[in-house]
Amino acid sequence: MITIHTADVEFYGGRARTAPLTWGQEAIWEVLHDGDVARTYAVLTRWMPIPLLLSVGDVLQIIGELLRRHEGLRTRYHPTASGDATQEVLGSGSLPVEMHDRPVDDPTEYSTIVTDYLVRAASAGFDHAEELPIRFSVTLQDGIPILLAFAVSHLAADFVSAELLVADLAAMFRARADGKPVPPARRALQPADLALLESRPEGQLRNIEAARFIRRQLDRLGPDPLPARATPATPRFYRGRLESDAVAVAAGVAARRYRTTPSVFLLALTSALMRCVVPGPTYPIDLMQGNRTEPELTGMVANLSQSILTVIDLTAETFTELVGHCAAVVAEARTHGRHRKRMAHDMICRAGADRGCQFNDIWSQLPGRPTRPDATLRDLARLRASSTFDWPERVTDKNKDLFMGIHGAAERVQLSLFADTVLLPPGDIRAFLDTFERAAVVLAFEDVALDQVAAWFAESSSRYAQVDWTSG
């Protein structure tokens, strides 16, 4: 029988201080004003193995060292009278860790223990004024630590931050198992330091320059860039999801062919398909930026990704030209990605451009992505047979007309398209994703005309238009 108890991790030796929120944290805090999502919004979860040579005491000490290193993990967030918040960094304290001890003869799978904990930890959310924004669980076998899992609030970490925490923990576990000192903390700012920098004149200048960039984007946007194309379904917004081993291999290979990054290639392919959907010469799309181009921000936990409005020109005559244009847009967006969202949001809303589209490529940031195809186009195309499609969400409203997310594991991409069915009816959502995969595979080996991409989309759209997606 599995026994569950808690053990306290103590942390000490850190700085205690208060500060305003960073711009990235402020954007998340404003989302949390919705009482329905305030506790459960965007909780990231991870799990990892623990070297068998470590004791429970070793594991708890390493968790304590992690909390000491990263101020964002030992921070509480307090609302102010204006509706904003301050962050209170604790210099010392304790954190309860949930311990699940499974006897060797218990039939329960380790994956079940970890999954149940992560689902529970994420669904419980966080009381940010009273709790630290991270929870840990250790799975043991007869008292021996086997697995570590954690859930962390989006106020304290984004996707990259969660991977940094896994890397930190793995390095410290390995060093302790090898009988060596834990490696030093990487050089990075803390959230309170970044908030201070953002409040200085150079931070305000960054905001002004971002505002100028966004105004230039708005000036390039024509009237009604995303007009209705169909009668809405009920509910109105559908999310289609296609999981593909083929795209995981093709993206890096195609990016090298076009001398660009996988993320730019994926954005260009998204834009090639948007040419099939929108009538105008441009379309608006928010690009999610990691904001880690400066050395002191690269390894910073609680340096949160932010999106920024861009406008992409669809008048390119070739895919190569479209890739070049997207690369230029991404480079400029990266320069202005860290800005005060509140300023940008007000400006965009006044221009009536607050919905639009969003592109969020998390997958390209994953380590260990495949870099070479299986040898031939035929081999790579064969991988498409393992692709799967489903409808994970259908909702009545969404804050964007179209959201393209690229997630998944290093060797299996998850293409997620959330769209207003007035813009893309369900059959076209499926056609968009199928054509995305088909084009990615071919582009890894040869050029494809933009008109050919459009023809593939039209063919797929016609096929899926005959399917009743509302019943499945």
Instruction: State how far the alpha carbon of 404 is from the alpha carbons of 230, 265, 428, 436, 438, in Å.
Output: 19, 14, 14, 11, 17
E strands present in 189-304: 237-244, 282-289
Going by their DSSP bridges, the two strands 93-102 and 134-141 should be labelled as parallel
- Helical ranges in 15-109 per DSSP H: 23-31, 56-69
Look up tokens 């954690």; give the residue. 150
Contact 261, 251 (CB under 8 A): no
Q: How far apart are CA 235 and CA 391, in angstroms?
A: 13
Quote the pLDDT of residue 175.
97
Tokens of 62: 């390493």
Cβ pair 435, 449 in contact under 8 A: no
Q: What is the pLDDT of residue 437?
A: 97
Q: What is the pLDDT of residue 377?
A: 83
- Please give the pLDDT value at position 345: 84
Q: What is the CATH number of domain 3-195?
A: 3.30.559.10
Looking at the chain, the number of H-run helices and the number of E-run strands are 14, 15
Report d(CA 399, CA 12) in Å as an integer.
42
Can you tell me which residue has the tokens 């991790």? 9
Domain map (residue ranges) of the chain? 3-195, 217-471
Fold entry, domain 217-471? Chloramphenicol Acetyltransferase (3.30.559)
196 to 16, 80, 193, 207: CA distances (angstroms): 15, 18, 5, 14
- Tally Cβ neighbours within 10 Å of residue 216: 12
At residue 180, the 3 state secondary structure works out as: coil
Q: What is the pLDDT along the chain (472 residues), one digit of tens a residue?
A: 899 999 999 999 889 999 999 999 999 998 877 655 544 458 999 999 999 899 999 999 999 999 999 999 999 999 999 888 999 999 999 999 999 999 999 999 999 999 999 999 888 889 999 999 999 999 999 999 999 999 999 999 998 899 999 999 999 999 999 999 999 999 999 999 999 999 999 999 999 999 999 999 999 998 889 999 999 999 999 999 999 999 999 999 999 999 999 999 999 999 999 999 998 899 999 999 989 888 999 999 999 999 999 999 999 999 999 999 999 999 999 999 999 988 888 888 888 888 899 999 999 987 666 666 556 888 888 889 999 999 999 999 988 999 999 999 888 999 999 999 999 999 999 999 999 999 999 999 999 999 999 999 999 999 998 887 776 5
Nearest to 418, CA basis, from 426, 96, 193: 426
The pLDDT of residue 117: 92
Give CA–CA dist 426/236, Å, rounded: 10
Q: CA triplet 329, 370, 109: central angle to 5 degrees?
A: 115
Structure token pair of residue 60:
């708890």
